[in-house]
């Protein structure tokens, strides 16, 4: 997910006279060694990543049951998908969740980065604290937050104490997504903070000082000087966080299992459920294809936006 750097870098280690011996030895030693070195990784990759990705596409055109016959059914799975209210429901949930989680975590990331960007006593400790949730397993985060949001957990108790009635957010079909978004922000903002921090350190100090001399307040300086400079970092974060949000599974599965009702049933939860509980694996693969298409569309949109800016 880093920069897709050019592959056209110089690779030559020796000039090219070896070709004339190609007939005799079949391959130059360099080529043979190179292939031998790549082969283990590449074979595993073909077998366990590339192959399954292709197979996933094929599977969505078939009727498949584990251990049974596989039958080519053309677009039947996609027809079912289009007419499946559950699918559209889970797509909607995924989009709403992402629309809340992505801006949420980016805003918190930027805010925290601004707070810890200057060095002061203990700044490293604060940075470490804010990054700690990122290294925590999502399952553990899910478990702890399930309790925090539970009927008699701290969050509900706090709300009751200040006069709000009502039970656990996780049991409320409207509030469940905001609760899950809070967890997602908690688990992600430390990462975004470091990305923004790295970019902030590259912004020349003079820019801000000049703005200050011209009488700009802190908010104006941030809005007109810092924010434009952060654009590349924010774009990178936007792409990454969208992917993460689309594919969210662990915390949601642990905390709500997709409930209450279908209120937090995202695409990946639906995929897992169809594939590993209903054992409807061809249909699950079709949902996977839909997820892929969705990812492509978002990548394309983001590409277009970035292209327009340049």
Partner 1 sequence: MSGLRKAGRATVLFLAAVVTLFPFYAMLVLSFKPIGPVTLPGSLLPGGLSLEAYEQVLGTASLARWLLNTAVYAIVSVVGVLALSMLAGYAFAKKRFPGKETMFWSFVAMLMVPYHVTLIPLFILIADWGGVDTYWGLIIPTLANAQAVFLMRQFISTLPDELFEAARLDGCGELRILWSLVLPLTKPILATLGVFVFLWHWNDYLWPLVIGQSEEMRTLTVGIASLQAERVPLNVVMAGSVVAFVPIFMAYLIGQRYFVEGVTTTGMKG
Find the binding residues for partner 1 in span 190-249 (CB under 8 A): 191, 194-195, 198, 236, 240, 243-244, 246-247, 249
Based on the shown chain and the rule CB under 8 A, indicate whether residue 76 belongs to the binding site for partner 1.
no
Q: Name the 3-class secondary structure at 221.
A: helix
CB of 113 to partner 1, least distance (A): 12
Alpha carbon separation from 61 to 22, 54, 72 (Å, rounded): 44, 12, 6
Map the footprint of partner 1 across residues 44-63, applying CB under 8 A: 44-45, 47-53, 55-56, 59
CB of 282 to partner 1, least distance (A): 8
Q: Name the 3-class secondary structure at 63.
A: strand
| Residue closer to partner 1, measured from CB, 32 or 223 | 32
Binding mask 125-164 vs partner 1 (x if CB under 8 A, - otherwise)?
-xxxxxxxxxxxxxxxxxxxxxxx---xxx--x-------
Q: Name the 3-class secondary structure at 249.
A: coil
- Tell me the C-alpha distance between 54 and 265, whole Å: 26
Choice from 25, 32, 223, 224 touching partner 1 (CB under 8 A):
32
CB of 175 to partner 1, least distance (A): 19
3-class SS letters over 64-109: ECCCCCEEECCCHHHHHHHCCHHHHHHHHHHHHHHHHHHHHHHHHH
CB of 290 to partner 1, least distance (A): 10
Based on the shown chain and the rule CB under 8 A, indicate whether residue 33 belongs to the binding site for partner 1.
yes
- Tell me the C-alpha distance between 41 and 30, whole Å: 18
Q: 265 φ, ψ to 5°?
A: -85, 95
**Token match 């108790």: residue?**
157
CB of 310 to partner 1, least distance (A): 21
Stretch of 28-36, 90-98, 162-170, 221-229 contacting partner 1, by CB under 8 A: 28-36
């Amino acid at each position: 997910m880093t920069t897709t750097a050019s592959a056209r870098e110089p690779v030559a280690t020796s000039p090219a006279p070896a070709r004339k011996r190609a007939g005799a030895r079949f391959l130059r030693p360099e080529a043979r060694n190179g292939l031998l070195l790549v082969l283990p990784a590449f074979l595993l990759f073909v077998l366990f990543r590339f192959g399954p990705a292709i197979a996933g596409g094929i599977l969505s055109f078939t009727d498949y049951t584990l251990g049974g016959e596989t039958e080519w059914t053309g677009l039947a799975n996609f027809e079912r998908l289009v007419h499946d209210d559950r699918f559209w429901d889970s797509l909607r949930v995924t989009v709403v969740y992402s629309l809340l989680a992505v801006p949420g975590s980016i805003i918190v990331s930027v805010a925290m980065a601004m707070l810890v960007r200057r060095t002061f006593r203990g700044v490293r400790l604060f940075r470490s604290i804010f990054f700690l949730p990122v290294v925590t397993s999502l399952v553990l985060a899910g478990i702890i937050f399930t309790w925090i949001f539970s009927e008699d957990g701290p969050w509900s108790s706090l709300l009751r104490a200040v006069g709000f009635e009502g039970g656990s957010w996780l049991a409320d079909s409207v509030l469940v997504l905001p609760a899950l978004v809070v967890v997602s922000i908690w688990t992600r903002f430390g990462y975004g903070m470091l990305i923004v921090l790295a970019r902030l350190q590259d912004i020349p100090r003079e820019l801000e000082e000049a703005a200050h001399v011209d009488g700009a307040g802190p908010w104006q300086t941030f809005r007109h000087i810092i924010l434009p400079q952060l654009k590349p970092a924010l774009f990178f974060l936007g792409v990454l966080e969208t992917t993460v949000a689309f594919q969210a599974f662990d915390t949601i599965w642990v905390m709500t299992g997709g409930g209450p009702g279908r209120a937090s049933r995202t695409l990946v939860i639906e995929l897992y459920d169809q594939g590993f509980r209903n054992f409807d694996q061809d249909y699950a693969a079709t949902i996977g294809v839909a997820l892929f298409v969705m990812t492509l569309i978002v990548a394309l949109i983001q590409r277009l936006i970035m292209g327009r800016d340049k």
